[in-house]
Structure 1
Amino acid sequence: MKTVFKNLRYIDVKEERVIEDGLIIIEDGRIEYAGDAEKGQGADGEIIDLEGMTLLPGLVDGHIHSLFDASSDPFGSLAEDSASLITIKAVSFMEETVRNGIVAVRDMGGLDYLEFGLKESIDNGLIAGPEMQLAGKLITMTGGHGHFIGREVDSPAEARKAAREQLKAGVDFIKIMATGGVMTEGVEPGAPQLTEEEMAAAIAEAHKAGRKTASHAKGTDGIENAIRAGIDSIEHGVFLDDEAIELMLENEVYLVPTLAAVHCIVEEGVEAGIPEFAVKKSEAVMESHIRSFQMAREAGVKIAMGTDAGTPLNIHGNNLYEIELMVEYGMEPLEAIRAATVTGAEMLELDDKLGTLESGKAAHFVVIDGKPDQDIRDIYNVKQVYKDGRQVR
């Protein structure tokens, strides 16, 4: 049976325009028509009047950690909680994520592959949640950033084997740690970690298997090492310079800035129980992080929305905060929405079914009470979310 959604504002994110009198027709979980109401008149089926609300495609978050609980010390929780508790928490996190309009995510590293059962449960309809792409165990140097949940390596040969192990486990992409980070005590966020040769070995294995790659990369040298090694996306990109940006443009590398991660740590601070070392490091990098995002945008780097949800007080379900921050630091509202739809879907290679509302694509969309194309804060006013034509909110 067809369902006709009428009397709506339709955001055409591909063309970055708004159709004020729009109409959407869906059938069997897919879009039959999306566009001007006049051209779509006469369709049969159940009629749903959206009363002038705004409709945009389901959103894509290119960087989350589904098993991290967004407490003041998520790594502490992972160490203390049982596997069953970690998983049950993650079920609620993914339900809240999709209820707020995020229909697809990249999980950038879990714990002992527990997230694989989460993805399978969503795919089989046992629980509600976004479509998930998984990295499995992140690949890091011995003692490097995230070593307590990752696969430690110390040579190109070991990096190659680690990538093969993740591919054998069934990952969707490979994540590599090019630099230190905020949440690992005793490492410097800007310092290079895995070498270019080590990363190149892992990346080659991923690409041979038809998988994409992503690199946690904050410092300039590590960013450039990762790009020269063949990486597909840079996560965070805190200390970009002109050379790094030029390399990203030449190699068509995506940037996933994750502005919310540092913001939440700095805003809440040690008073909220966040480890002091993480707060101090976040305060030290925040200004450079914002400036790098602005430089990349001005240069035309492909930017996809990603939140790092699950990190300290960066709550699952509050993913839309990243979009607000992207606008606060220079993007136009439609530009930020595009980063969370079209660009995100392209980065995940899901643009054949996500990212835009077009005939034949999956009926994933969000109904907003307001005009986020004019005031981005309206994007929080989520009234309905549809995934595969079924209402999840």
Structure 2
Amino acid sequence: MSLKIKNVTIYTGRGDKLIQSAIIVEANKIIAVGEEAVDKEAETVIDGQGKTIVPGFFDMHIHLGMDGIADPFSQIATDSQATSAYRHQANGKKQLQSGVTSVRNLGSKWHIDLAYRDAVNNGIVTGPTVYGSGQPIVMTGGHGYPLASEADGEDEVRKMARQTLKQGADVLKLMATGGVMTPGVDPGSPQLSESEMRTAVEEALHAGKTTASHAQGTVGIQNAVRAGITTIEHGIFLDDETIELMIKHDTVLVPTLAAPYYIVQNADSGAIPPHAVKKAMYCYEVHKESFRKAVAAGVKIAAGTDAGTPFNLHGDFAKELELMHEGGMSIRDIITAATFSAASVLTVQNETGSLEKDKIADFIILSEDPEDKLSAFRSVETVYQGGEVVHVY
């Protein structure tokens, strides 16, 4: 049965904005959009006057096994595999209800994100489309080691990359630097070397997969970019040389501005580990300035929140979009970063990520136009996944 939603504003995800337009879906696909849809009949018609439709969002950096409590590593240390699996489902549902129809999970102990992905794909549970990394690959004692696979030297990293791909990973996650949450490591300090990361990149490419690197310090970011990493996560300390290198290598930045924001905003709670507060306070302003410079220079951006880190809750994707706007991105560029650009990073842009004919019908209806009011990203009324309503507010 075909469904037409008419008299709506549509952001296609490719930079276009259609006024008083329409979209028609049938089964799980878009069969018409824009002028073609306005002129075409459908079996069911909904008048969406005053509403705005955007593609389903992609959150390109989340941790489904973490709830956003003040000390998420304590949660990882005490959860059983079964508890973690339930947590993945609960947090995935929150993502879907907020309009995030696809997620890239970048780190789950026991590779549980991959099992959760399969459960969603097989219809066992309802959740967003999941692209998972399984356990990240880190140096011994490296950032995130409580939920990661430790490896040292090119041979060990290569073997671990192959083992992670064997588990079914869609993307390999590597740690190029230290980070905020892990005690005893410096966010600016390099960890896995350029040559170590390059071996993992090679294995990912051989398997037709992509890569992501946690990279906060300048040297580590440059190592990751030269190694051929697909996306730089966080990118806190970006200088002009590093930005030029990213543009040269066509490297995408996933800024995760919400992660340090929420630690800084809740620094006085007394609940966040002191080492994390100290490091986040040090990085916060630098991170914002690095993002502004990257946007101004034309670095490719894909939206991601790092949801699951302290006070950074699943289902609050809108905060990242708001912070990106504060950092100099236009509304249309933000929508593209959260939809088509994200799908392109995952190499699924021909199937999803924009509102175009023959693509999967993942989209959300907003009660307001985000170009009129930034808070419109929070005014999600209905979430469609594969042409079916999966959530109504």
Match of 2:5 in 1: 5
Distance (whole Å) between structure 2 residues aligned to residue 44 and residue 205 of structure 1: 47
Match of 1:356 in 2: 354
Unmatched tracts of structure 2, length 5 or more: none
Deviations 1:107-135 (A, max 9, x none): 10101112222111211222221111111
RMSD over aligned Cα atoms: 1.2
Question: Aligned pair in 2 of structure 1 residues 224, 40: CA closer, same or farther (>3 Å)?
Answer: same
Distance (whole Å) between structure 2 residues aligned to residue 270 and residue 141 of structure 1: 32
Question: Counterparts of 1:34-183 in structure 2 under 5 Å?
Answer: 34-36=33-35, 40-183=38-181
Deviations 1:178-202 (A, max 9, x none): 0000000010001001111111111
Distance (whole Å) between structure 1 residues aligned to residue 188 and residue 240 of structure 2: 16
Match of 1:21 in 2: 20
- Say whether the 8 Å CA contact 1:333–1:374 is kept in structure 2: no
Match of 2:307 in 1: 309
Unmatched tracts of structure 1, length 5 or more: none
Could you tell me how far 1:42 is from its partner in structure 2? 4.3
Distance (whole Å) between structure 2 residues aligned to residue 336 and residue 183 of structure 1: 27
Distance (whole Å) between structure 1 residues aligned to residue 61 and residue 126 of structure 2: 19
- Say whether the 8 Å CA contact 1:95–1:127 is kept in structure 2: no
3-state secondary structure, aligned to 1:392: strand
3-state secondary structure, aligned to 2:348: coil
Is 1:211 paired with 2:209? Answer: yes
Deviating above 6 A after TM superposition, structure 1's stretches of 4 or more consecutive aligned residues are none
Match of 1:269 in 2: 267
Match of 1:379 in 2: 377
Deviations 1:223-266 (A, max 9, x none): 00111111111000000111111111111100000000010111
Distance (whole Å) between structure 1 residues aligned to residue 375 and residue 381 of structure 2: 14
Match of 2:231 in 1: 233
Could you tell me how far 1:374 is from its partner in structure 2? 2.5
Match of 1:31 in 2: 30
Match of 2:328 in 1: 330
Could you tell me how far 1:46 is from its partner in structure 2? 0.8
The letter for the 2-side match of 1:200 is R
Could you tell me how far 1:45 is from its partner in structure 2? 0.7
When structure 1 is superposed on structure 2, of 82-91 and 383-392 the one drifting more is 82-91
Q: How many residues get paired?
A: 391
- Identity, % of aligned positions: 42
- Say whether the 8 Å CA contact 2:76–2:146 is kept in structure 1: no
Q: 2:191 is matched with which residue: 190, 193, 211? A: 193
3-state secondary structure, aligned to 1:112: helix
Could you tell me how far 1:41 is from its partner in structure 2? 2.4
Distance (whole Å) between structure 1 residues aligned to residue 40 and residue 280 of structure 2: 56
Distance (whole Å) between structure 2 residues aligned to residue 42 and residue 208 of structure 1: 44
3-state secondary structure, aligned to 1:94: helix
The letter for the 2-side match of 1:301 is V
Distance (whole Å) between structure 1 residues aligned to residue 339 and residue 141 of structure 2: 36
TM-score by length of 1: 0.97
The letter for the 1-side match of 2:98 is N
- Say whether the 8 Å CA contact 1:342–1:355 is kept in structure 2: yes
- Say whether the 8 Å CA contact 1:31–1:357 is kept in structure 2: yes
Question: Counterparts of 1:275-290 in structure 2 under 5 Å?
Answer: 275-290=273-288
Question: Aligned pair in 2 of structure 1 residues 248, 42: CA closer, same or farther (>3 Å)?
Answer: closer
3-state secondary structure, aligned to 1:127: coil
